[in-house]
């Protein structure tokens, strides 16, 4: 007869089936792979069925595992609902909060705010996850997101905080060798440094809307420091946030008199969590910081020469 099992067993099964390996599930759950293997084996023993099998591509659900995947997904969603609803009524300013944003916004804007908040609320613990990959707020991969693309999930509350300026950068050596492109005439003949993957259409036009016909993507990276370095050594032109690009002495703006491209800064929280004390505390601090630094966020550190 099958033994008693618990919701926690389902977490390990779902993680392994999604990641396709014990090591991937271990990273997702922040445990070691031995623990994952042991918990899944115990789950299978309690249910009296083999749920996962090894294939050349990795772990895959067996027919028995496939038969319960949908119900396990429903259980997981319900568990996250419970956690969010309880957390949404938390009146404590202390505790952990996980925030996801870009590297630049984290470094230039959010970390200083966290330092100031910690002076007043030393029990507050903030985790910052950076990168352009969106995290699932419904599953509490993060409680707050500060992003440049507005998500569309109806359960998310989105607030526009301000604008973030981007412009094109290159090294003086590159521009001397290849010439400065003429604004409005495209980037034909130039090497470009781009992000890996295709950004959402709501991110807005790339490379300040210039035509990319006849241009060559010479390097892609998801790391802005790598992109800046690639431009610094003369590989090509990159599109960087002004607040970051202006701090790189080896780079110059391709069109220093041109107004930057502005992209909205969105603060995103789940509707179930927006009233939690520490969510409101951190969200308000970030919103106020964007307002205080609105000019430098839009135009960077160099004085504007455009009109």
Q: Who wins on pLDDT, 92 or 162?
A: 162
Amino acid 36: pLDDT: 83
User: Of the given ranges (6-15, 222-231, 277-286, 293-302), which has the lowest mean pLDDT?
Assistant: 6-15
Q: Who wins on pLDDT, 75 or 143?
A: 143
Q: Who wins on pLDDT, 31 or 201?
A: 31
At residue 196, does pLDDT exceed 90? no
Amino acid 299: pLDDT: 94
> Which CATH number applies to 7-87?
1.10.10.10
**Average pLDDT score over residue span 56-75:** 82
Q: Who wins on pLDDT, 245 or 67?
A: 245
Q: Who wins on pLDDT, 40 or 265?
A: 265
At residue 166, does pLDDT exceed 60? yes
User: Of the given ranges (104-108, 209-213, 299-303), which has the lowest mean pLDDT?
Assistant: 299-303
Q: Who wins on pLDDT, 108 or 204?
A: 108
**Average pLDDT score over residue span 106-123:** 91
Domain spanning 90-307: CATH 3.40.50.300: no
Average pLDDT of the chain to the nearest whole number: 84
At residue 82, does pLDDT exceed 90? no
At residue 230, does pLDDT exceed 70? yes
What are the angstrom distances between the C-alpha of 238 and each of 63, 109, 185, 245, 307? 49, 22, 17, 9, 23
**Average pLDDT score over residue span 52-56:** 84
**Average pLDDT score over residue span 156-169:** 93
Confidence of residue 200 (pLDDT cuts 50, 70, 90): low
User: Of the given ranges (33-37, 43-47, 72-76, 233-237), which has the lowest mean pLDDT?
Assistant: 72-76
At residue 1, does pLDDT exceed 50? no
At residue 161, does pLDDT exceed 90? yes
Q: Per-domain residue ranges for the chain?
A: 7-87, 90-307
């Amino acid at each position: 007869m099958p033994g008693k099992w618990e919701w926690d067993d389902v977490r390990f099964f779902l993680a392994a089936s999604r990641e396709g390996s014990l090591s991937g599930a271990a990273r997702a759950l922040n445990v070691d792979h031995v623990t994952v293997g042991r918990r899944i084996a115990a789950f299978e023993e309690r249910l009296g069925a083999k749920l996962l099998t090894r294939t050349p591509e990795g772990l895959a659900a067996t027919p028995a595992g496939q038969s319960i995947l949908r119900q396990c997904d429903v259980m997981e969603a319900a568990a996250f609902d419970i956690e969010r609803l309880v957390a949404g009524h938390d009146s404590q300013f202390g505790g952990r909060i996980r925030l996801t944003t870009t590297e630049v916004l984290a470094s230039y804007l959010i970390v200083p705010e966290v330092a100031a908040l910690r002076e007043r609320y030393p029990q507050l613990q903030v985790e910052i996850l950076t990168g352009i990959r969106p995290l699932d707020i419904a599953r509490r991969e993060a409680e707050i997101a500060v992003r440049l693309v507005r998500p569309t999930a109806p359960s998310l509350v989105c607030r526009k905080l301000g604008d973030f300026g981007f412009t094109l950068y290159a090294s003086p050596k590159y521009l001397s060798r290849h010439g400065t492109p003429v604004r409005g005439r495209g980037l034909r003949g130039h090497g470009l440094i781009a992000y890996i993957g295709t950004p959402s259409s709501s991110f807005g036009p790339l490379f300040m809307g210039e035509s990319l016909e006849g241009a060559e993507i010479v390097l892609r990276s998801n790391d802005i420091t790598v992109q800046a370095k690639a431009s610094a050594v003369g590989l090509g032109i990159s599109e960087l946030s002004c607040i970051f690009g202006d701090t790189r002495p080896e780079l110059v703006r391709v069109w220093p008199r041109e107004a930057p491209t502005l992209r909205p800064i969105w603060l995103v929280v789940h509707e179930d969590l927006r009233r939690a004390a520490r969510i409101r505390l951190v969200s308000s601090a970030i919103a106020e910081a964007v307002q205080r630094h609105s000019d430098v966020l839009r135009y960077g550190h160099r004085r504007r020469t455009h009109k």
